[in-house]
């Protein structure tokens, strides 16, 4: 069981930080979705989460319909902020600037161990630079220091070409990526997050094979959850409030909302070990199996979609990972229910999503298609998950 001090740090985390922590514990990857016009803010928030909460380097890869394999590979790399200057190298150190120009990429400033910045501009056509191929007059010594970031934030990965998404899948499977001149290996602590704009969490998805590889998914509501780290960076400093004590007190209060409990690699490894030893009783295991069976046979779910062996494995793994975060050394049905909502949110494909009610199972036994259409109209993935959770009881 985790010690009280570590549990206090866990309880101080927001939902985005918890999603990152769970992935680091399991050494898996995730998909995080939000409203279409909030993807950029979400990427910046997660960049700050990686730096301030977990002291990890991060890189933002902006994908689009014409992203090339080279552009995608280039965007994965970061370089220590403190690079020996080279007379012939005029390249900018950091193309990703926070809105507050005076802020640093980590709480420790440029000399912090986690203060890394991408060494290439935003990966767009004609605007990239291969990190392993120094520019004319550049220094190859500084290029050699480039490495894959601990946390890769792939914005709009769903809009990237199929070849790029397959390349991303290979990176996650092998933890390596091939460039024109070498093979680069991902660091020990490595997390790949696909950031997708959608109308809801159940509508956010990428290439089917890559989609199934993601451990969990999370929907971030900008209105309800906001962007605490970004708000902290943009809020006026107390020294800028003039002589108004009430205004200064209000600013201090708003900035103190954000807590930064830094997690060490040792603490994450400890939580990972606790998750592996968390006990799952026979009744809870049966409950998990029943949930999977009900999902597979639910009338609104398209046959053969989403309920895969990988998803079943992730469900059991996530339920165990949640146990130590709640101060438990065993898995409870409520933890399984929470894991179900996260594991299957991005995986399930609904019959009516493709506008094909004839795919509903009962049609092959004579059900009327218009009647089936009327019955399934309006169902969402979230509705299906809640319906299954209400239908399946824990057996003793």
Q: What is the CATH number of the domain that holds 372?
A: 1.10.8.80
CB contact set of 73 (below 8 Å; sequence gap of 6+): 167, 177, 178, 179
- Specify the DSSP class assigned to residue 33: E
Here the tokens at position 67 are 């992203």
Same domain, 148 and 212: yes
- Specify the DSSP class assigned to residue 237: P
Residue 361's Cβ-count burial label (10 Å; 0-12, 13-18, 19+) is middle
Same domain, 225 and 115: yes
Residue (of 12, 81, 85, 77) closest to 49 by Cα position:
12
Note whether residue 149 is domain-resident: yes
Q: What is the C-alpha to C-alpha distance for residues 326 and 323, in angstroms, rounded to an integer?
A: 5
Instruction: Mark which of 222, 240, 258 sits at the end of a domain.
Output: 240
Q: Determine if the pTM surpasses 0.85.
A: no
Same domain, 222 and 114: yes
Same domain, 226 and 363: no
Here the tokens at position 137 are 């007059």
Same domain, 159 and 41: yes
Note whether residue 201 is domain-resident: yes
Boundaries of domain holding 41? 4-240
Note whether residue 360 is domain-resident: yes
Same domain, 73 and 207: yes
Computed over every residue of the chain, the mean pLDDT equals 81
Here the tokens at position 18 are 């918890």
One pLDDT digit (tens) per residue for the chain, 396 residues = 778 999 999 999 999 999 999 999 999 999 999 999 999 999 999 999 999 999 999 999 999 999 999 999 999 999 765 545 555 444 444 344 444 433 333 333 333 333 333 333 333 333 333 344 433 344 444 445 689 999 999 999 999 999 999 999 999 999 999 877 888 999 999 999 999 999 999 999 999 999 999 999 999 999 999 999 999 888 765 445 555 555 544 443 444 445 556 899 999 999 999 999 999 999 999 999 999 999 998 888 988 788 999 999 999 999 999 999 999 999 999 999 999 999 999 999 888 776 677 777 677 676 777 877 777 788 899 999 999 999 999 876
Same domain, 46 and 107: yes
Is residue 216 within 8 Å of residue 48, measured between CB atoms?
A: no
Note whether residue 214 is domain-resident: yes
CB contact set of 58 (below 8 Å; sequence gap of 6+): 46, 47, 50, 51, 78, 116, 149, 150, 151, 152, 153
Q: What is the C-alpha to C-alpha distance for residues 387 and 344, in angstroms, rounded to an integer?
A: 13
| CATH number of residue 31's parent domain | 3.40.50.300
Q: What is the number of domains present in the chain?
A: 2
């Amino acid at each position: 069981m985790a010690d009280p001090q570590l549990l206090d740090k866990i309880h101080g985390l927001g939902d985005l930080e918890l999603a990152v922590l769970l992935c680091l514990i399991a050494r898996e990857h995730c998909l995080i979705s939000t409203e279409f016009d909030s993807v950029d803010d979400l990427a910046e928030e997660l960049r700050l989460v990686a730096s301030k909460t977990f002291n990890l380097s991060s890189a933002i890869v902006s994908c689009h319909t014409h992203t090339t394999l080279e552009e995608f590979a280039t965007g994965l790399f970061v370089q220590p902020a403190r690079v020996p200057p080279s007379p012939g190298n005029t390249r900018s150190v950091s193309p990703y600037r926070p809105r507050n120009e005076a802020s640093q990429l980590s709480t420790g400033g440029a000399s912090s161990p986690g203060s890394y910045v991408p060494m290439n501009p935003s990966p767009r056509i004609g605007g990239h630079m291969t990190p392993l191929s120094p520019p004319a007059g550049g220094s190859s010594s500084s290029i050699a220091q480039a490495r894959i970031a601990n946390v890769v934030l792939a914005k709009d990965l769903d809009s990237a070409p199929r070849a790029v998404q397959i390349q991303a899948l290979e990176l996650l499977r092998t933890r390596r990526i091939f460039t024109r001149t070498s093979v680069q290996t991902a660091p020990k602590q490595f997390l790949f997050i696909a950031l997708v704009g959608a109308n809801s969490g159940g509508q956010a998805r990428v290439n089917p094979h890559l989609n199934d590889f993601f451990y969990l998914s999370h929907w971030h509501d900008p209105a309800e959850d906001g962007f605490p780290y970004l708000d902290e960076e943009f809020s006026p400093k107390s020294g800028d409030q003039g002589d108004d004590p009430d205004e200064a007190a209000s600013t201090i209060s708003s900035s103190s909302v954000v807590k930064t409990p830094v997690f060490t690699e040792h603490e994450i490894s400890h939580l990972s070990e606790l998750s592996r030893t968390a006990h799952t009783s026979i009744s809870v295991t049966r409950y998990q199996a029943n949930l999977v069976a009900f999902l597979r046979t639910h009338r609104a779910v398209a046959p053969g979609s989403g309920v895969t062996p990988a998803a079943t494995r992730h469900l059991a793994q996530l339920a165990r990972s949640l146990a130590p975060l709640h101060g438990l050394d065993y898995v409870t049905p409520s933890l399984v229910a929470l894991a179900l909502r996260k594991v299957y949110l991005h995986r399930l494909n609904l019959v009516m999503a493709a506008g094909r009610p004839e795919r509903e199972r009962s049609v092959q036994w004579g059900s009327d298609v218009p009647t089936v259409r009327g019955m399934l109209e309006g169902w969402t993935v979230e509705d299906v998950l809640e319906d299954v959770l209400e239908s399946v009881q824990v057996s003793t």
